[in-house]
Amino acid sequence: MELISWNDFEKVELRIGTILEAIDFPEARKPAYKVKVNFGEHGVKWSSAQITKHYTKEELIGRQIAGVINFPKKQIGNFMSEFLVTGFADENGDIVLTTVDKPVPNGSKLI
């Protein structure tokens, strides 16, 4: 594991946002949804998320998730991902979203 400095960590814009919409992404190589997330003053952004094993589209709406919003946009098939959805792999390698246990304002930064 490589150690990083506090300055390195401060560069990561890891922010909370609320999922507004989740739709199927059939063009993705692995099963995924396209998610639309409100990051408050940082805007509404779209991303692809391989989270179909643990979540239905319906239960994602209104959930707050953590995302990295200062990576460059990334082309995924015919879709442009605007942020990185964060999560942890379970024992089967399926993604469990990074969330908060109490509501916080959209756009709040991890500190």
- Residues in the chain predicted with pLDDT less than 70, given as ranges, are none
Task: State residue 77's pLDDT score.
Answer: 86
Q: What is the CATH number of domain 10-97?
A: 2.40.50.140
Where are the chain's structural domains? 10-97
Residue 9: CB atoms within 10 Å: 10
Structure tokens at 77: 């098939």
